[in-house]
Chains A and B, each alone.
Chain A
């Protein structure tokens, strides 16, 4: 279970997150919505240790992770995918999934990595350099890397960005199928269908705090909230 309490993050005097508090139970799938600049990625960066925290605490399964270095947070069970894919471009697909913290031995790491590649459908591409994969395959590989970590919490930052509608559907289905009830997923997405397909619950972030936290379907049908999210693009 992820517990974020009173989280505040500042950049150059601007509060990117303001006393943000959320609780995500083990195995839950929660969508994170909000306009650009509302703090979605900053929230992910803060949880994974990439952004300095001004105030507040973050706990995973009761353990405080908010003061840990990124690699320790990963070891505690947090996996991450990035909006702009961050793979090891000059490493093979297999090597990308290998340095996972979820394994006790090198042998287990290799087994984990191979199984993860099979799960995402890249088993036969394991010796291909990540940089030589198609963009869609790179997105899949980033998910495979997260699978191999066997995380307690996955932070998926727009995993369908840049993909076709069909590819997006595959990626969302993959997230739903590859991670079991022991893994909670936080999903940042601009494609509403994707959030609805994976996440029964959604958060709406506005200017660094949680403006709404409710079932996704209700949020979608709430015209005021939807207008905040979609702005002038909303059609009645």
Chain B
């Protein structure tokens, strides 16, 4: 029985964790090019989801239209955050950017609550199909879709970074922004595009998460920032593979914690784990080198 529980929890965790992984990919892209933390990332996603929700409530927009609105909405809000919190400050003014992104978090949350004053809002569900049963294990169809979509998107992001001209420019800016400018890369433009890309990925993740819950509240912003941040830190700063691993790991650990220790302990385990990782592997499990480099660059600047 315990083996079945373990397997079922692991499966559930992987599926939920896949959404954390998407959030962490977005976080890590922004952190990679900006070397600064964007606390408004979760609220950016929530704003996109809220715009989609408004269209669903007001016009009964079908899922695909809602998806498009969420992604475009999150991208535009992401652009707004970049303009206000990151573009005006240099890399050296990290604290200013982070504090400004906290201010925008509050602003976006307020705006969302004015747009849809109800605390809980309905969101079009992904699938109403009954769970699949494989032997003693149960799989939710929408969770399977979430996992598949995550893997596809992670593959697409990896391809974009590894094989395209934009990806090369992003990698060059992450690695060495000054040298990137010297070889003719428009660094600010690449930063902006990365920000929008990360926000679009976040919007996609936000859609999947809201659709599997079939409801959304303005708290989604804080939820997405914290989950994405913990998953990114677990996997390591500035690594897409690390972000995926960190997201999946966080999901699995939370699922086990919830099953064996109860829902109240679930979040405590995540925070406790983050504390242990930060204390002993401050670069994350896969990103120690990246952090060393970032810090070295910080000293040089």
Contact = CB atoms under 8 A, between A and B. Distances in A.
Given A90-B175, A91-B171, A80 B182 contact: yes
Contact of A71 (B171, B175, B186): B186
A88 B179 contact: yes
B184 A101 contact: yes
A82 B182 CA distance: 10
Contacts of B171: 88, 90-91, 95
A71 B165 contact: no
A49 B168 CA distance: 22
A106 B179 contact: no
Contacts of B178: 50, 86
B184 A88 contact: no
B179 A71 contact: no
B293 interface: yes
B179 A100 contact: no
B175 A101 contact: no
A192 interface: no
B181 A99 contact: no
A99 B169 contact: yes
A58 to B, nearest CB: 16
Interface string A162-204: 0000000000000000000000000000000000000000000
Contacts of B168: 91, 95, 98-99
Interface residues of A, number: 25
A70 interface: yes
Nearest to B300: A84
A82 to B, nearest CB: 8
A222 B178 CA distance: 38
Given A71-B185, A71-B186, A99-B184, A88 B165 contact: no
A145 B176 contact: no
A228 interface: no
Interface string A126-151: 00000000000000000001000100
A36 interface: no
B175 A89 contact: yes
Given A95-B171, A99-B169, A106-B165, A89 B293 contact: yes
Given A98-B168, A99-B169, A91 B175 contact: yes
Contacts of B172: 88, 91, 95, 99
Nearest to A148: B183
A69 interface: yes
B91 to A, nearest CB: 14
Nearest to A100: B183
Nearest to B182: A80
Interface in B142-192: 165, 168-169, 171-172, 175-176, 178-187
Given A91-B172, A98-B168, A86 B179 contact: yes
A89 B176 contact: yes
A55 interface: no
Nearest to B186: A71
B179 to A, nearest CB: 4
Interface string B56-95: 0000000000000000000000000000000000000000
B301 to A, nearest CB: 12
B53 to A, nearest CB: 40
A88 B175 contact: yes
A87 interface: yes
B113 to A, nearest CB: 40
A115 interface: no
A98 B293 CA distance: 22
Nearest to B178: A86
A99 B180 contact: yes
Closest 7 CB pairs of A and B: A101-B184, A74-B184, A70-B181, A88-B175, A86-B179, A71-B186, A80-B182
19 contacts: A48-B182, A49-B181, A50-B178, A69-B186, A71-B186, A71-B187, A74-B181, A86-B176, A86-B178, A86-B179, A88-B172, A89-B176, A95-B168, A95-B172, A99-B169, A99-B172, A99-B180, A99-B183, A99-B184
Given A87-B179, A88-B179, A99-B165, 11 more contacts: A50-B178, A74-B184, A79-B182, A86-B176, A88-B175, A90-B171, A91-B172, A99-B183, A101-B183, A145-B183, A149-B183
